[in-house]
Amino acid sequence: MAELETAVATGAAPFRPRERRASVVVRLAGDSGDGIQVAGGQLALATALAGSDLETFPDFPAEIRAPAGTTFGVSSFQIHIADHRVHTVGDRPDVLVALNPAALKVNLPDLRPGALVILDPGSFKKRELERAGFASDPRTDGTLAAFRVLEIPIEELTRKAVAGTGVGAREAGRAKNFWALGLVLWMHDRDTRSVEAWLERRFAGEPALLAANRAALAAGHVFGDVSELAIPAFTVGRASQPPGTYRTVNGLEALAFGLLAGARDAGLELLYASYPITPASGLLHLLAGLRGLGVTTFQAEDEIAAVTAAIGASYAGALGVTGSSGPGMALKTEALGLAVAVELPLVVIDVQRAGPSTGMPTKTEQSDLLQAVWGRNGDTPLVVLAVATPADGFAMAREAVRLAVHHMTPVVLLADGFLANAAEPWRIPELAGEPAFPVRFHNAREGFRPYRRDERGVRPWVPPGTPGLAHRISGLERDFETGAISYDPANHARMTAARRDKILKVADDIPPAALEQGDPTDRLVLVGWGSTYGPVADAVAAARARGRDVAHLHLRHLWPLPRGLGALLAGFERILVPEMNTGQLAALLRAELLVPAEPLAKVTGRPFTVEELGQAIDARLEEAP
Amino acid sequence: MSAIPALDRLQPKDYASDQEVRWCPGCGDYAILKAVEKALSELAADPDRTVFVSGIGCAARFPHYLATYGFHGIHGRAPALATGIKLARPELDVWVVGGDGDMLAIGANHLVHALRRDVDLAILILNNAIYGLTKGQASPTTPLGTRTSSTPLGVVERPLSACSLALSAGARFVARAIDIQQKLLPEILVRAHDHPGAAMVEILQNCVIYADGAWSHLTEKSVAAEARLLLRHGEPLLFAEGRKGLRPAKDRLGLEVVEVGSEGPDAAGVLRHDERDRGLAVALAALEPPMPVALGVLYADPAPTSFERALRAQTEAARAREPGLDLATVIRRAPTWTVTG
């Protein structure tokens, strides 16, 4: 991936030649108490401010307070820095900063051969090595033979740097994350201004801590210039981006903002009802912190109460939203059926994780697709959407609200554990002006029937409190004309068809199928959905650059499928569907479109790499069709 | 509300919907429906601002038969549905109706939490000690030993008390009545409605098909006087036509029966009912034969606010702290940078 070109660097280290690179993948790793995520966040910000593109992913331990020095207590942060648009956090790190042996042990298998490994030798004592599960010292036993290793006594240098700032021994050692950050910033030709500004805000009123962290940051940054070690120095240029104001956003933040924007566009109050579950809980926390915007958050007694309360809120004329993950989605199933039966708007955000059952709560997967599309008792159609990238959560949450309120239907929006925590730059959209899709409640008494459908098959929304329109709704089958309970055979057939057709007609209200890259004359198409967007986009771009006849099609609308999808796919010799499950979208496409979609499954709890998708593309195109 | 002249109010029958009522002939639910219609009339309830929410079961058909807004939901989940409605629209009058299976088995979790949160709901549990709509299985309130379609050898699980459960969940209004008590029941329903928080009313209801006579030890004329303790706030705890009363037990924590002599109940040490006394309510809820069963309002001690009003107040306070806060501002709280064309 590295486009190597030696250049004389400008800026912080004028006398050292800097290697100009198209992209660099850096991973910071340490104990969960080492402040890795804080340092990573600041590295991302400095990168963004310097104009490079980036994608980041934090990897937290599943345990809340894992014992220090253990492999299961390792926290890491990966960033892909590039001078062009990138869509993944990078297959393999080029640089690993490991603050202890456990961090080295855990991250070693992911490194690119030849990668740079920065270690703190002060942490490689017998006890730490044993805790990390090293039988011998990896620095001397050949374990690191394939890598370039730099041993820098980070903690010791931090202590020296902060001496005289007035902090105690414990606080002095804790500043090592900023020392390491200072060094990594220097390595990438970034200054420390944005980090200093952050430190000033973070430690306002704590002058000693501010001075210590600032001193550590500065010492790490200057170390590159003054050290005897030949520390590699890179320059990654600016990426071309459309004009606008940007910030970085992770998937859960984007979803929260999108729900709020959608509620505003619909002119509705937002109720978010949820039950604690990993990794969806972050959405509850974010929205609970934004009550000042008028959002109501409700932590229910269980998953069923969460979705049911959301349905109650929608019935009463608010926007009811619930969110969950894994087994929590299974628990909501019956209530989704109720929402389909009573034809009320509801948005359900499923932050998918590895299953079945409890599975791997902190690991990502896309294995809830068929549950979302078909997994209910009865013929129970609803709308299913999926988020493509972290920032796309904003647009898709807004889209989920729009479709829910305008088609009086539950909408399941699929995200996943990777998207939830991964972050990328986001061009902040314009949010002023009139609501984009305001809801108009029905209030006309004349001819009112609670289930009378309009030309799209959509029934009126009449919240209680509407004068003169008191009526009853129920999960029992109801008469097509009057809405009263009905067990009439022909009526049930008619109502089943009406519910199906209503959802199928949503296809008129979404964009038709289109290719992201390539054209219909290519031989192979990769069909992605959800968070496979990033690796598929980059892998197809790279393959096309190699001259491969491969196109990329990405589905944000999973049910109903976009118009024209069957015809578009039928033109390709081969259709490959990479997904983090055992072939659910491939099965759906085969069943619905009668196309020979071939699944490419990955269920390791990790996203696809660009490399493995590139190999899959090459293999398909080298085989006879 | 009761200031509205009787003639201007809707009559009880005006609260009936156009749907044909389909409970079994002789079902206690008819009497309860009548009492609810009467209570709504006394409250001069606005049908457009009243919502009946239910789960699944015979009792849960209730909303279909009333001319108010109604949401017949899914089994056990009515308190959660109703909580969502109140969170969105606190000004609505929301009633929850369910049976003993709906509210005390599959939905017990939601009942407990609606009560502890103190959502402003009137929750009616129509307890007939059986699953009726599914054809006669034992419920959480079916007495020990009862033979039912699912327990042909007799029930071996102890039944639970709705009133004891409600009190332990932190309910601040707990009452009990029998379906045939057509004077007491509407009175209690009016009070449950007016209580500014979660109000739980257990209504002992007769299922003529599967558990006929489940409450006959309270309803038979020959035993009623000895078996029922009618509670009135401030009045002595008397039963058996005033010949007996309840006083604090001498040698244990609880109540014991005392004969009331000619000097009257106070001289006999008979307790007076205090609806705000939670400890007394707990003791009254626990009374079961051969002790008299407590009927009326066991406990009524409203909290200063209810769940949905407390949440609204928090939202308003959060808004007041940052007046004019909008989404665009929140999004820009993170560091931003600008790319120019």
Mutate to test the interface with A, among B81, B96, B111 (most CBs of A within 10 A): B81
Which residues of chain B have a CB within 8 Å of the CB of A249? 334
Fold classification of B7-214 is Rossmann fold (3.40.50)
pLDDT at A15: 53
A18 confidence band (pLDDT: 50, 70, 90) = confident
**Helix, strand, or coil here: B70?**
strand
Helix (H) or strand (E) holding B86: helix B78-88
Q: Pick the residue from chain B with its C-alpha nearest to A317.
A: B88
What is the largest distance, in Å, between two alpha-carbon atoms of chain B?
100
Query: What ipTM does this complex have?
Result: 0.97
Mean pLDDT estimate for chain A: 94
Average pLDDT over residues A518-539: 98
Give A385→chain B minimum CA distance, Å. Answer: 24
State yes or no: pLDDT of B2 exceeds 80: no
Average pLDDT over residues A240-249: 95
pLDDT at B259: 97
Instruction: Please write the tens of the pLDDT for every residue from B136-157.
Output: 999 999 999 999 999 999 999 9
Q: Pick the residue from chain A with its C-alpha nearest to B21.
A: A485
Residues in chain B: 341
Do the bridges between strand B255-259 and strand A148-151 make them parallel or antiparallel, or are there none, so unpaired?
unpaired
Instruction: Please write the tens of the pLDDT for every residue from A320-331.
Output: 999 999 999 999
With CA atoms as reference, report the closest residue to A601 among A580, A617, A575, A585.
Answer: A580
Whose tokens are 């500014």? That residue is B196
State yes or no: pLDDT of A297 exceeds 90: yes
B170 touches chain A (CB under 8 A): no
Which residues of chain B have a CB within 8 Å of the CB of A301? 80, 109-110, 112-113
- Contact between A43 and A79 (Cβ < 8 Å): yes
List CB contacts of A392: < 8 A, sequence separation 6 or more: A254, A533, A556
A482 touches chain B (CB under 8 A): no
Average pLDDT over residues B202-214: 97
Two tokens, residue A304? 């069923």
Mutate to test the interface with B, among A85, A240, A314, A315 (most CBs of B within 10 A): A315
**Distance separating alpha carbons of residues A493 and A548, to the nearest angstrom:** 49
Instruction: Please write the tens of the pLDDT for every residue from A139-186.
Output: 999 999 999 999 999 999 999 999 989 899 888 999 999 999 999 999
How many interface pairs between A and B have CB atoms less than 8 angstroms apart?
A: 207
Query: At residue B131, what are phi and psi to the nearest 5 degrees?
Result: -85, 115
Cβ–Cβ of A335/B77 closer than 8 Å?
A: yes
**Helix, strand, or coil here: B66?**
strand
Cβ–Cβ of A466/B327 closer than 8 Å?
A: no
CA angle B192–B79–B136, rounded 5-degree value: 95
pLDDT at B1: 43
**Distance separating alpha carbons of residues A213 and A178, to the nearest angstrom:** 6
State yes or no: pLDDT of B171 exceeds 70: yes
Which residues of chain B have a CB within 8 Å of the CB of A441? none
Query: At residue A157, what are phi and psi to the nearest 5 degrees?
Result: -65, -35
Q: Which residues pair with A528 in a beta bridge?
A: A554
**Distance separating alpha carbons of residues B245 and B338, to the nearest angstrom:** 81
State yes or no: pLDDT of A1 exceeds 50: no
Average pLDDT over residues A247-265: 97
Average pLDDT over residues A606-618: 97
**Distance separating alpha carbons of residues A408 and A344, to the nearest angstrom:** 5
pLDDT at A63: 76
A131 confidence band (pLDDT: 50, 70, 90) = very high
Whose tokens are 């306070």? That residue is B317
Helices marked H in A273-385 — which ranges?
Answer: 281-288, 303-315, 326-331, 333-342, 369-374
State yes or no: pLDDT of A130 exceeds 90: yes
- Name the percent of chain A lying above pLDDT 70: 97
pLDDT at B340: 87
Q: Which of residues 270-329 of B touch A (CB under 8 A)?
A: 311, 314-315, 318-319, 321-322, 325-328
Instruction: Please write the tens of the pLDDT for every residue from B218-257.
Output: 999 999 999 999 999 999 999 999 999 999 999 999 999 9
Instruction: Please write the tens of the pLDDT for every residue from B305-334.
Output: 999 999 999 999 999 999 999 999 999 999
Closest in B48, B74, B85 to A313, CB measured: B85
Label residue A374 exposed, middle or buried (CB < 10 Å: 0-12, 13-18, 19+).
middle
- Name the percent of chain A lying above pLDDT 90: 91
What is the largest distance, in Å, between two alpha-carbon atoms of chain A?
87
Give the residue extent of every domain in chain B.
7-214
Mutate to test the interface with B, among A245, A297, A472, A476 (most CBs of B within 10 A): A472
**Helix, strand, or coil here: A424?**
strand
Cβ–Cβ of B327/A260 closer than 8 Å?
A: yes
B21 touches chain A (CB under 8 A): no
Closest in B82, B113, B338 to A312, CB measured: B82
pLDDT at A573: 97
Which residues of chain B have a CB within 8 Å of the CB of A405? none
Task: Give the E-state strand segments of A520-622 in sequence order.
Answer: 524-529, 550-555, 557-559, 574-579, 597-601
**Distance separating alpha carbons of residues B79 and B55, to the nearest angstrom:** 8
pLDDT at A624: 59
State yes or no: pLDDT of A625 exceeds 70: no
Instruction: Please write the tens of the pLDDT for every residue from B37-52.
Output: 999 999 999 999 999 9
Give A242→chain B minimum CA distance, Å. Answer: 7
CA angle A91–A527–A362, rounded 5-degree value: 50
Mean pLDDT estimate for chain B: 96
A315 touches chain B (CB under 8 A): yes
Q: Pick the residue from chain A with its C-alpha nearest to B312.
A: A296
State yes or no: pLDDT of A481 exceeds 90: no
pLDDT at B51: 98
Cβ–Cβ of A313/B64 closer than 8 Å?
A: no
With CA atoms as reference, report the closest residue to B102 among B85, B81, B86, B121.
Answer: B81
Residue A98 one-letter amino acid: A
Give A153→chain B minimum CA distance, Å. Answer: 32
Which residues of chain A have a CB within 8 Å of the CB of B50? 464, 470
State yes or no: pLDDT of A11 exceeds 60: no
B340 touches chain A (CB under 8 A): yes
Mutate to test the interface with A, among B20, B64, B336, B338 (most CBs of A within 10 A): B336
Cβ–Cβ of A291/B84 closer than 8 Å?
A: no
- Contact between B39 and B193 (Cβ < 8 Å): yes
- Contact between A428 and B332 (Cβ < 8 Å): yes
Cβ–Cβ of A467/B326 closer than 8 Å?
A: no
A16 confidence band (pLDDT: 50, 70, 90) = low
Helices marked H in A193-250 — which ranges?
Answer: 193-202, 207-226
pLDDT at B189: 98
Which residues of chain A have a CB within 8 Å of the CB of B91? 465
Mutate to test the interface with B, among A248, A249, A308, A342 (most CBs of B within 10 A): A308
Do the bridges between strand A95-98 and strand A23-31 make them parallel or antiparallel, or are there none, so unpaired?
parallel
State yes or no: pLDDT of A525 exceeds 80: yes
Sheet with A17-21, side-by-side order of all strands: A5-8, A17-21, A234-236
Two tokens, residue B26? 């002789």
- Contact between B214 and B207 (Cβ < 8 Å): yes
Cβ–Cβ of A271/B330 closer than 8 Å?
A: no
The rounded Cα A262 to chain-centroid distance in angstroms is 19
**Helix, strand, or coil here: A270?**
strand
Which residues of chain A have a CB within 8 Å of the CB of B64? 472, 474, 485
pLDDT at B3: 54
State yes or no: pLDDT of A4 exceeds 80: no
Residue B232 burial (CB count, 10 A) = 13
B250 touches chain A (CB under 8 A): no
Q: Which of residues 281-300 of A touch B (CB under 8 A)?
A: 290-296, 298, 300
pLDDT at A14: 45
Instruction: Please write the tens of the pLDDT for every residue from A55-71.
Output: 999 998 777 778 889 99
pLDDT at A33: 87
A488: left (phi over 0), alpha (psi -120 to 50) or beta: beta
B96 touches chain A (CB under 8 A): no
